[in-house]
Amino acid sequence: MRTLAPALVALASSAAIAVAIAAPVRAQDVAADSTQRLRRGQETLSPDALRLDLAARDQTRGDVRGVIEDLEGLDLSAGMSFDQADRAAFLLGEAYLELGDQDRFTSLARQVSAWKRESVFTRWLAFELRLIENGGAAAPGLSGVADLARDDAATALAGADTTSQLGRDLAGAALIRLAARATAAGQDARAWLERVPTGSRYAARARHMLGLLRLEHGEAAAGRAALESLLADDSTYTDRRQVRLALAGQALDQGRWESAHQIYRAIDSDWWQQHGLLAQLSSPCSLDTLWAAWGAEPARSGLMLLDARPARARARQLAGAAADLGARPALEPPALDEGPATQAPATSVAPPPAEAWSAVMASAGRVAQAEAELERARWDEADARESLADQRRYLAIGRQRVRGEEAQLLASAAFLDSLRATLASLDSRLRGMRDAERAHIAARTAAILDQCAGNLLWMRAMARFTLAGPDSARMVAHPAGLPGPDSLLAAERGLAGAVAALAESLAAGTPALLARSYTEAWRPAVIDRAAREAAAARAALVWARSIHGSIDSSLAAARAPTSGAC
The mean predicted confidence, pLDDT, of the chain is: 75
Q: Is the model more confident about 561 or about 171?
A: 171
Identify the pLDDT of residue 477. 67
**How far apart, in whole angstroms, are the C-alpha atoms of residue 377 and residue 388?**
18
* Mean pLDDT score, 149-163: 66
Long-range CB contacts (within 8 A, 24+) of 195-199: 195/158, 195/171, 196/171, 196/172, 197/162, 197/168, 197/171, 197/172, 199/162, 199/165, 199/168
Identify the pLDDT of residue 95. 92
* Mean pLDDT score, 7-11: 41
Record: fold of 5-21+145-296: 1.25.40
* Mean pLDDT score, 412-423: 76
Long-range CB contacts (within 8 A, 24+) of 375-382: 375/99, 375/100, 376/99, 376/101, 379/65, 379/69
- How far is the first Cα of the chain from the last one, in angstroms, to the nearest whole number? 104
* Mean pLDDT score, 147-174: 70
Least confident of 11-25, 80-94, 401-415, 549-563: 11-25
Q: In what order do the strands lie in the sheet with 303-307?
A: 142-144, 18-21, 303-307, 337-338
| Contact in structure between 175 and 192 (CB atoms under 8 Å) | yes
pLDDT band of 154, cuts 50, 70, 90 = low
Cβ neighbours of residue 448 closer than 8 Å, sequence gap 6 or more: 499, 500, 503
* Of the candidates 281, 271, 276, 205, the residue with the CA atom closest to the CA atom of residue 241: 271
Backbone phi, psi, residue 508, to 5°: -85, -35
- Per-residue pLDDT reduced to its tens digit, 265-286: 888 888 887 777 777 766 766 6
SS3 labels along 74-105: CCCCCCCCCCCHHHHHHHHHHHHHHHCCHHHH
**How far apart, in whole angstroms, are the C-alpha atoms of residue 355 and residue 564?**
72
- The percent of residues above 70 in pLDDT, for the chain, comes to 75
Identify the pLDDT of residue 335. 66
* Coil/strand/helix, residue 144: strand
**How far apart, in whole angstroms, are the C-alpha atoms of residue 154 and residue 147?**
8
Least confident of 106-115, 238-247, 269-278, 296-305: 296-305
* Mean pLDDT score, 27-40: 45
**How far apart, in whole angstroms, are the C-alpha atoms of residue 302 and residue 147?**
11
Q: Is the pLDDT of residue 21 over 60?
A: no
- Per-residue pLDDT reduced to its tens digit, 307-319: 667 778 888 888 8
Any idea what the Cα angle at residue 168 is, between residues 163 and 174, rounded to 5°? 140
Least confident of 258-262, 407-411, 477-481, 532-536: 477-481
**How far apart, in whole angstroms, are the C-alpha atoms of residue 227 and residue 259?**
15
* Of the candidates 490, 488, 463, 486, the residue with the CA atom closest to the CA atom of residue 476: 486
Which helix (H) or strand (E) element contains residue 334? none
- Per-residue pLDDT reduced to its tens digit, 494-505: 888 888 888 888
pLDDT band of 480, cuts 50, 70, 90 = confident
Backbone phi, psi, residue 18, to 5°: -130, 135
Q: Is the pLDDT of residue 132 over 90?
A: no
Identify the pLDDT of residue 57. 92
The torsion region of residue 355 among left (phi > 0), alpha (psi -120 to 50) and beta comes to alpha
**How far apart, in whole angstroms, are the C-alpha atoms of residue 551 and residue 556?**
9
* Of the candidates 376, 380, 366, 399, the residue with the CA atom closest to the CA atom of residue 548: 399
pLDDT band of 1, cuts 50, 70, 90 = very low
pLDDT band of 45, cuts 50, 70, 90 = low
- The percent of residues above 90 in pLDDT, for the chain, comes to 3
The residues pairing with 68 across neighbouring beta strands, listed in sequence order, are none
**How far apart, in whole angstroms, are the C-alpha atoms of residue 537 and residue 359?**
57
Any idea what the Cα angle at residue 158 is, between residues 152 and 159, rounded to 5°? 105
Q: Is the pLDDT of residue 304 over 90?
A: no
Q: Is the model more confident about 150 or about 115?
A: 115
**How far apart, in whole angstroms, are the C-alpha atoms of residue 323 and residue 55?**
8
Domain edges within the chain: 5-21+145-296, 34-139+308-339+350-385, 391-469+484-560
Identify the pLDDT of residue 93. 92
Q: Is the model more confident about 222 or about 303?
A: 222
Identify the pLDDT of residue 67. 92
* Mean pLDDT score, 93-101: 90
Cβ neighbours of residue 436 closer than 8 Å, sequence gap 6 or more: none
Q: Is the pLDDT of residue 165 over 80?
A: no
DSSP 8-state code for residue 352:
P
Q: Is the pLDDT of residue 405 over 90?
A: no
Q: Is the pLDDT of residue 62 over 60?
A: yes
